[in-house]
A and B are shown apart, each in its own frame.
Chain A
Amino acid sequence: MPEPLKFTYDINGENFASAGEASMQIKKELRSLGFDPQTIRRVSIAMYEGEINMVIHAGGGVAEVLVSPDSIEIILTDHGPGIPDIDLAMQEGYSTAPDTIRSIGFGAGMGLPNMKKYTDEMVIESHVQKGTRVFMRFDVK
């Protein structure tokens, strides 16, 4: 089996306006690799929500995307404050984002549930004061 293609993106935590650039890039890469539109949309939405989360909560991080013909994996790693209660964070509507973030259209407490909804597998590992690692797998149907 051939090695998966690997794409790595540094997510800049300083600039909210640029959040989502990596997701736009990966969307283009997947399109040029010929993946079907549904798969591309699932991957890019989940990655976009993850990217926004890293910018809002963690001061940025790194996104690695591994692309194989039958599955796509995304690993998001940050060194932010961590998530004290992952089950609570997974509840729709629960958010710790400040009002400033809500005024720019995010922080509705839908990010993690949306990510989960669009993935076939999602695993969150988080340590308070150390950071968070989110693994997402998308099966190509």
Chain B
Amino acid sequence: MKIELVKQLLEAKVVCGEDMMDTDVCSACGSDMMSDVLAYVKDQAVLLTGLVNEQVIRTAAMMDMKCVVFVRNKRPTQDMVSLADNNGIAVLTTPLRMFEACGKLYEAGLNRDGVANA
């Protein structure tokens, strides 16, 4: 699934990484606990979270994730955006809540096993 479609499904705004909309992602992880995210290694993943601090971006960078989505319209700080930009991570914000955001992506075929079936 392209990040462009993630953006559309989640009615999201792009904070940084406008040039990455054509990048493919094939799994996703929704969590506010970064250690749980770090326990889960998949390629080309999206991280959905309601947590807003630098460690979210560092966690995504460690995991080679391509996209971070902040739910409930949470806004990342400028430092976080620069960190994401420097590490090739697209940052989106969605008005949706975590449950709905994850549900929409799952329903559209993004699944936890890293195999996109749509």
User: Using Cβ atoms and an 8 Å threshold, which residues of chain B touch A45?
Assistant: 38, 41, 62-63
Q: Does B56 contact A (CB under 8 A)?
A: yes
Contact: A105 with B55, CB < 8 Å? yes
Partner of B38, one of A16, A24, A49, A102: A49
A44 to B63, CA, bound (A): 9
Q: How does the 8 Å CB contact mask read for B67-81 relative to A, with 1 for contact and 0 for none?
A: 000000000000100
Q: Does A61 contact B (CB under 8 A)?
A: no
Q: Does B39 contact A (CB under 8 A)?
A: yes
How many A-B pairs with Cβ below 8 Å?
Answer: 72
CB distance from A51 to the nearest CB of B (A): 10
Q: Classify the secondary structure of B's interface with A.
A: helix
Contact: B34 with A106, CB < 8 Å? yes
Contact: B53 with A105, CB < 8 Å? yes
Q: Does A83 contact B (CB under 8 A)?
A: no
Q: Does A80 contact B (CB under 8 A)?
A: no
User: Using Cβ atoms and an 8 Å threshold, which residues of chain B touch A24?
Assistant: 58, 61-62, 87
Contact flag A110-B62 (CB < 8 Å), given A17-B53, A105-B51, A105-B55: no
Q: How does the 8 Å CB contact mask read for B18-52 relative to A, with 1 for contact and 0 for none?
A: 00000000000000111110110100000001010
Sorting the interface of chain A by its residue count into under 10, 10 to 19, 20 to 34 or 35 or more gives 20 to 34
A44 to B41, CA, bound (A): 12
User: Using Cβ atoms and an 8 Å threshold, which residues of chain A touch B39?
Assistant: 110, 113-114, 117
A residues in contact (CB < 8 Å) with B: 16-20, 23-24, 27, 37, 41, 44-45, 48-49, 52, 102, 104-111, 113-114, 117
20 further contact pairs, Cβ within 8 A, besides A19-B55, A48-B59:
A16-B55, A17-B55, A20-B54, A23-B58, A23-B62, A24-B87, A27-B62, A41-B63, A44-B62, A45-B62, A48-B62, A102-B33, A104-B53, A105-B55, A105-B56, A107-B35, A110-B38, A113-B39, A114-B35, A117-B39
B residues in contact (CB < 8 Å) with A: 32-36, 38-39, 41, 49, 51, 53-56, 58-59, 61-64, 79, 87
